[in-house]
Structure 1
């Protein structure tokens, strides 16, 4: 299958993980096993599922893992909103991260559509 490192969406989602870890490092210690853990796991799930899908034997399996990555991106989107409303992330930073997530979601949707179209021909 394909090398996940060749996908721009993987690069962007990997950078998002680094950004999320930097942000959650500043959260209160009382959130370590709650919101911090959930946000870190959701962010890591995005590039991990892209990588795992690329390691599968068929494009159909790749698409399945891209959908899982997309689900994790949607989950993280909500978690950023929640963290912002709880006062753990400044609104400007939250909006910036949400914009990154939105771009990743669009890129995943486009990649899924491209692969699914190629499967039909």
Structure 2
């Protein structure tokens, strides 16, 4: 693939990463090395693994890295829900990000399926 910047899943994941970094500024300072750090790492993992997989030598390797990205997607959804339950971030800020993550996850599963069927 090699031109990961053209992948819609990568582009959307980059947008999500920006949103997560912005919303993390609302988290309390005491969460800087806990939830904030974990959420940022998960958000970065999604486009990073999509890009890394696209540069691999086989479709199976690409699908493997997409699976890792999808794991980070669900991990981030969970962390956002934890933030919501603890009332650390307003629901109005979290819900759009979760919706985008679900969309990226659906795109990811579809791309993995396409790679496996080729």
Q: Shorter-normalised TM-score: what interval?
A: over 0.9
Uncovered stretches (5+) of structure 2, i.e. residues with no partner: none
Match of 1:9 in 2: 9
Classify the secondary structure of the residue corresponding to 2:94: helix
Whole-angstrom CA distance in 1 between matches of 2:94 and 2:19 = 11
TM-score by length of 2: 0.97
1:55 CA drift (Å)? 1.2
TM-score by length of 1: 0.94
Q: Please show how residues 22-37 of structure 1 align to structure 2 within 5 Å.
A: 22-37=22-37
Q: Where has structure 1 moved over 3 Å in runs of 4 or more?
A: none
Whole-angstrom CA distance in 2 between matches of 1:92 and 1:20 = 13
Q: Please show how residues 33-112 of structure 1 align to structure 2 within 5 Å.
A: 33-112=33-112
Q: How many correspondences in the alignment?
A: 118
Uncovered stretches (5+) of structure 1, i.e. residues with no partner: none
Whole-angstrom CA distance in 2 between matches of 1:22 and 1:104 = 19
Match of 2:115 in 1: 115
Aligned-residue RMSD, C-alpha = 0.8
